[in-house]
Amino acid sequence: MLLPEKREGRGALRFARVLKMRGLLAIFAATLLPGLATAQVSFDQILSAEKEPRNWLSYSGSPMSQRHSALVQVTPENVKNLEQQWVFQARSLEKFEATPLVVDGILYTVQPPNDVVALDAETGRQFWTYSYIPSPKARPCCGRVNRGLAVVGDTLFMGTIDAHLLAIDARNGHVLWNTAVASPEAGYAITHAPLVVKDEVIVGTAGGEYGIRGFIAAYDIKTGKERWRFYTIPGQGEPGNETWAGDSWKHGGASIWMTGSYDSVLNLTYWGIGNPGPDFTGDQRAGDNLYSDCVVALDADTGKLKWYYQFTPHDEMDYDSVQVPVLADLEWQGKPRKVMLWANRNGFFYVLDRASGQFLQGKPFTTVNWATGFDERGRPMKASSAVPKTEGTVVFPGVQGGTNWYSPSFSPRTGLFYIPSWDNYSAVFAKGDANFVEGREFVGTMPRGAIGGLRPGMVNFRKPEEGFGAVRAYDPKTGEKKWEFKMLDVTDAGILTTASDLLFSGGREGYFYALDARTGELLWKTMLGGAVASGPMTYSVNGRQYIAVCAGNALFVFALKE
Amino acid sequence: MMLGRLSIVLGLASTLLAQHTYTPEDIEEGGRLFRTNCVGCHGPEGNLVDGVDLGHGKFRHATTEEGLIDIVLTGIPGTAMPPNGVTSFQAGAIIAYLRSIATDGRSVVRGDAVRGASIFVNKGACNQCHRVNGDGSRVGPDLSEIGRLRRVTELERSILEPDAEVLPQNRFYRVTTNSGETITGRLLNEDTFSLQMMDSSEHLRSFRRSNLRETSFLEHSPMPSFRDKLSPGEVDDVVAYLVSLKGF
């Protein structure tokens, strides 16, 4: 058996050879492909990711988080010729939710829970693996998962399920620094991909089911030292603290478990915030419970709050608002406007002004009964008939939401916003007791419904009236649904669009498919044998476009038949 | 799950317990959980443990709904009743189910199991659709351990009124192909693009949805009523036979 350091050393040697070869190639190709001249990733490259679509440099493809690629080799006409190129089988039976990064032909991803792997993006052959062993005290609520990495310079960044933030040398997998962000014993974890902004790396803390007090923090990319911290629940004396009864703010959750976005002109970073705790009974936390279920806009240099918008005040349905903030520049009512597009777990599709936080539009994209609409300030008007009660109340959407953490996509070409949706889906919410004990689950009574985290094994148990999944395309300017692609089962898959007007997604059934982004027509599909619970991405190497997605416990990569 | 030695006589069947209202679907789910977790020790009638008759509200060790739920969840130390991995609501649904059956039909076996076995394969021809210990058709539900899972009154009702209760997993499915062929059978699996069945000839069939014109569950059970085919005594005999089927 090889010792880990030897294995790493052999991998690093081969990796150096490939880099050397690629470096030689890059010298010849530099005039044609300027970005290949160096393996370093500058922040300017990350900001202008659309200029080098061969790479995928951040979780959602760019700080705008549109999960849209300018690559056009694969088209609606030839997508039927996609074929599998390679598969990376994770040595883990955990859910594989990561979106890989690709830098100049090297693919980096996370094998659950916290192993970083560097692969040849053309062949899937491995350069190196770094295995982080999380503390056994780590207790993420919903699986020992990780959704990806960040990169800048030659450094990769990974949050861990025991709430550490690691900087890792992208050339050999060696750890450069390791910062303890929060206490795993108290229920804190990091499951999302970090976000690089200039010379800092930003993460937030998961743990909303354990009575944490969530926060977002920025760390120096060179040293790992904390630059600023924004508590997602205001402390005593701070504005917003009065929205929590008594001491409930001390353990009110408001976690972070998806990657935020960044607008370089406004210098604002946007983050979606999770549910208040305890999840399913709000009696002990009377008030709106800021900034749970909010999007917050923070000054990227200081972490100071610029604005917030709360999607679900005083939430008792676990409607985490952790969705990826999708930034778009649209013509809104005749004028150019910087907006934010947001399909929320609570079932509404929102358009906000991302400079001011002004509510511009909110319309349901799935069956909703907990709110009847919005007042003139954009505050939802709750339906009294759909408030959780002791004896149980049927609420649409159910606890998993009308969507969840699954990445949406915006195509500047079609102007459409694409939402992974659950519809006709409810749960019965019944209030129960919840007593806070640090590090223990703090949720109240779990809702019940036809569809839970996983559907029961026997398909014949299914009843026709139960929920279904769909990819839905909406026009943000009107809130109007343009088309939908309906699935029998629900979906946990993200969505990728390309400048050739293709849309890639999947679902729990294990299919991965391509749709026409303008019409929703099915153009290609393949069965991957495991649920797609990740966001697809695309990249190119040596002029060939690849499409990658995780399904089951493996990463699958496709390209056109040669 | 075992519900153990509870000692309070609960009231008549009711869907309203102290804190929760249980819908018919909740009670159905409670019955499913009871059959899955509890019948191994308590039997389908809930009366296999000495001094306990769950089906008639005869409990020990608890006087309130909360107490009963707590026993389901945590078990009874020092007895064979273990803790169970269900939620408190599910525990309550099990109790609601038990209350619902307290006045529902008889639990006494009246017929002769040996005669019933003969009727099952001869006059009744039940094995044309049902399988017992490896003999008979696979099209209908396998009855090899039906006596361990279902109550006397439920078995009798299934023979006389097959449409009265069809468990979700026993529903029949029908597809019609684009060419007009109709196939019925048991739905085994399905997804957005395809479905898999065992047809009424026991063949495994897979269909692409693009080749199907129509799909649906059958509204009625394919099983006929035996009310006019068997005498009351013969029905009792078949029920006695089915009650004797406890699996391998």
Supply the CATH number for residue B71's domain: 1.10.760.10
pLDDT for B166? 86
- B219 pLDDT higher than 90: no
Q: Residue A318 catalytic?
A: yes
**CA torsion sign, A426 to A427 to A430 to A433?**
negative
CA gap A153, A218 in Å, rounded: 17
Cβ atoms of residues A341 and A66 within 8 Å: no
* B229 in the same domain as B160: yes
* B76 in the same domain as B31: yes
Which of A121-135, A181-195, A464-478, B58-72 shows the lowest per-residue confidence on average (mean pLDDT)?
B58-72
Tokens coding A394: 């049927």
What is the DSSP secondary structure assignment for residue A285, as one 8-state letter?
G
pLDDT for B167? 83
**How many whole angstroms from its chain centre is CA B9?**
25
Let me know if residue B18 belongs to a domain: no
Largest CA distance in chain B: 65
- Residue A15, C-beta contacts closer than 8 angstroms, at least 6 positions apart: A118, A127, A128, A171, A172
Active-site residue identified among A162, A293, A318, A423: A318
Q: Which is more confidently placed, A387 or A12?
A: A387
In B, which residues are within 8 Å of A389 by CB distance? Answer: none
- If one counts every other C-beta atom within 10 angstroms of the C-beta of residue B141, the result is 17
**Contact B14/A at CB under 8 A:** no
pLDDT digits (tens, 9 = 90+) for A481-503: 999 999 998 999 999 999 999 99
Task: Kindly state the helix (H) or strand (E) to which residue A482 belongs, with its residue range.
Answer: strand A480-487
- A6 pLDDT higher than 60: no
**Contact A116/B at CB under 8 A:** no
CB contact under 8 A, B21 and A430: no
User: B242 falls in which pLDDT band (50, 70, 90)?
Assistant: very high
* B154 in the same domain as B32: no
* B149 in the same domain as B40: no
pLDDT for A353? 98
* B192 in the same domain as B137: no
* B132 in the same domain as B235: yes
Tokens 């074929």: give the residue: A83
- A38 pLDDT higher than 80: no
pLDDT for A27? 41
Tokens coding B97: 């189910």
Residue spans of beta strands (DSSP E) within chain B: 131-132, 135-136, 172-177, 182-190, 194-199, 204-208, 212-217
User: A98 falls in which pLDDT band (50, 70, 90)?
Assistant: very high
pLDDT for B198? 93
- As a whole number, mean pLDDT of residues A33-47 equals 71
- B7 pLDDT higher than 50: no
pLDDT digits (tens, 9 = 90+) for B154-183: 999 999 999 988 888 888 999 999 999 999
- A448 pLDDT higher than 90: no
CA gap A485, B89 in Å, rounded: 35
* B95 in the same domain as B31: yes
Q: What CATH number has the domain bearing residue A383?
A: 2.140.10.10
User: A400 falls in which pLDDT band (50, 70, 90)?
Assistant: very high
| Angle, helix B65-74 to helix B88-101, in steps of 10 degrees | 120
Let me know if residue A73 belongs to a domain: no
In B, which residues are within 8 Å of A486 by CB distance? Answer: 192
Q: How far is B187 from chain A (nearest CA, A)?
A: 6
Let me know if residue A11 belongs to a domain: no
Let me know if residue A103 belongs to a domain: no
- Calculate the alpha carbon distances from A551 to A55, A533, B110 in Å: 21, 6, 56
Residue spans of beta strands (DSSP E) within B143-211: 172-177, 182-190, 194-199, 204-208
pLDDT digits (tens, 9 = 90+) for A330-375: 999 999 999 999 999 999 999 999 999 999 999 999 999 999 999 9
- As a whole number, mean pLDDT of residues A104-115 equals 97
CA gap B222, B130 in Å, rounded: 12
- Calculate the alpha carbon distances from A83 to A12, A13, A87, A527 in Å: 30, 31, 12, 12
User: B107 falls in which pLDDT band (50, 70, 90)?
Assistant: confident
Buried/exposed A72-84: b ≥16 CB within 10 Å, e otherwise: eebebeebeebee
User: A447 falls in which pLDDT band (50, 70, 90)?
Assistant: confident
**Contact A432/B at CB under 8 A:** yes
- As a whole number, mean pLDDT of residues B35-39 equals 84
- Residue B187, C-beta contacts closer than 8 angstroms, at least 6 positions apart: A459, A460, B171, B173, B195, B196, B197, B217
- Calculate the alpha carbon distances from A346 to A31, A237, A274, B47 in Å: 50, 30, 12, 46
Q: Which is more confidently placed, A195 or B85?
A: A195
Q: To probe the interface with B, which of A433, A445, A458, A460 has the most B CB atoms within 10 Å?
A: A460
**Contact B212/A at CB under 8 A:** no
In B, which residues are within 8 Å of A511 by CB distance? Answer: 191-193
- If one counts every other C-beta atom within 10 angstroms of the C-beta of residue B204, the result is 10
In A, which residues are within 8 Å of B171 by CB distance? Answer: 460
- As a whole number, mean pLDDT of residues A84-105 equals 96
Tokens coding A503: 């849309």
CA gap A296, A231 in Å, rounded: 11
What is the DSSP secondary structure assignment for residue A37, as one 8-state letter?
G
- If one counts every other C-beta atom within 10 angstroms of the C-beta of residue A160, the result is 25
CA gap A349, A401 in Å, rounded: 12
Q: How far is A390 from chain B (nearest CA, A)?
A: 7
- As a whole number, mean pLDDT of residues A27-42 equals 51
Cβ atoms of residues B71 and B1 within 8 Å: no
In A, which residues are within 8 Å of B169 by CB distance? Answer: 458, 460-461
Cβ atoms of residues A191 and A168 within 8 Å: no
- Comparing C-alpha atoms, which of A364, A422, A413 is closest to residue A516? A413
* B152 in the same domain as B229: yes
Cβ atoms of residues B172 and B221 within 8 Å: yes
Buried/exposed A110-133: b ≥16 CB within 10 Å, e otherwise: bbbbbbbbbbbbbebeebbbbebe
pLDDT for A7? 35
In A, which residues are within 8 Å of B88 by CB distance? Answer: 432, 445
Please state, for a pLDDT cut of 70, what percent of chain B lies above it: 90
* B143 in the same domain as B237: yes
Tokens 């449409």: give the residue: B163
Residue B146 phi/psi, 5-degree rounding, is -65, -30
Mean per-residue pLDDT over chain A, rounded: 91
- If one counts every other C-beta atom within 10 angstroms of the C-beta of residue B16, the result is 11
Omega of the bond leading into A134 within 30 degrees of 0 (cis): no
Residue type at position B169: Q
pLDDT for B51? 76
pLDDT for A9? 37
| Angle, helix B113-121 to helix B232-244, in steps of 10 degrees | 100
CB contact under 8 A, B168 and A392: no
User: B3 falls in which pLDDT band (50, 70, 90)?
Assistant: very low
- As a whole number, mean pLDDT of residues A79-108 equals 97
CB contact under 8 A, A489 and B188: no
- Radius of gyration in angstroms for the set of CA atoms belonging to chain B, rounded to a whole number: 20
* Helix, strand, coil percentages for chain A (3-state, nearest 5): 10, 40, 50
User: A17 falls in which pLDDT band (50, 70, 90)?
Assistant: low
Q: HSE of A392 in the Cβ direction (CA atoms, 13 Å)?
A: 22
Q: How far is B29 from chain A (nearest CA, A)?
A: 11
CA gap A233, A243 in Å, rounded: 9
Q: To probe the interface with A, which of B73, B173, B191 has the most A CB atoms within 10 Å?
A: B191
CB contact under 8 A, A448 and B189: no
Let me know if residue A542 belongs to a domain: no
Among the candidates B79, B101, B123, a domain finishes at B101
User: A39 falls in which pLDDT band (50, 70, 90)?
Assistant: low
Q: A239: domain range?
A: 139-537
Let me know if residue B11 belongs to a domain: no
Let me know if residue A475 belongs to a domain: yes
Q: B86: domain range?
A: 24-101
- Calculate the alpha carbon distances from B7 to A524, B4, B61 in Å: 62, 9, 5
- As a whole number, mean pLDDT of residues A177-203 equals 98
pLDDT for A8? 37
User: B239 falls in which pLDDT band (50, 70, 90)?
Assistant: very high
Let me know if residue A452 belongs to a domain: yes
Which of A1-15, A53-67, A329-343, B68-82 shows the lowest per-residue confidence on average (mean pLDDT)?
A1-15
- A32 pLDDT higher than 50: no
pLDDT for A464? 59
Q: How far is A509 from chain B (nearest CA, A)?
A: 6
- As a whole number, mean pLDDT of residues A205-215 equals 97
CB contact under 8 A, A448 and B20: no
- A457 pLDDT higher than 60: no
Cβ atoms of residues A484 and A469 within 8 Å: no
Let me know if residue B16 belongs to a domain: no
Tokens coding B124: 């009744």
Domain count, chain B: 3
- If one counts every other C-beta atom within 10 angstroms of the C-beta of residue B190, the result is 20
Let me know if residue A447 belongs to a domain: yes
User: B75 falls in which pLDDT band (50, 70, 90)?
Assistant: confident
Cβ atoms of residues B150 and B195 within 8 Å: no
User: A460 falls in which pLDDT band (50, 70, 90)?
Assistant: low
Please state, for a pLDDT cut of 70, what percent of chain A lies above it: 90
pLDDT digits (tens, 9 = 90+) for B197-215: 999 999 999 999 999 999 9
Residue A144 phi/psi, 5-degree rounding, is -85, 70
Domain count, chain A: 1
Let me know if residue B12 belongs to a domain: no
pLDDT for A15? 53
ipTM reported for the complex surpasses 0.85: no
Which of A268-272, B59-63, B118-122 shows the lowest per-residue confidence on average (mean pLDDT)?
B59-63
Let me know if residue A5 belongs to a domain: no
* B88 in the same domain as B28: yes
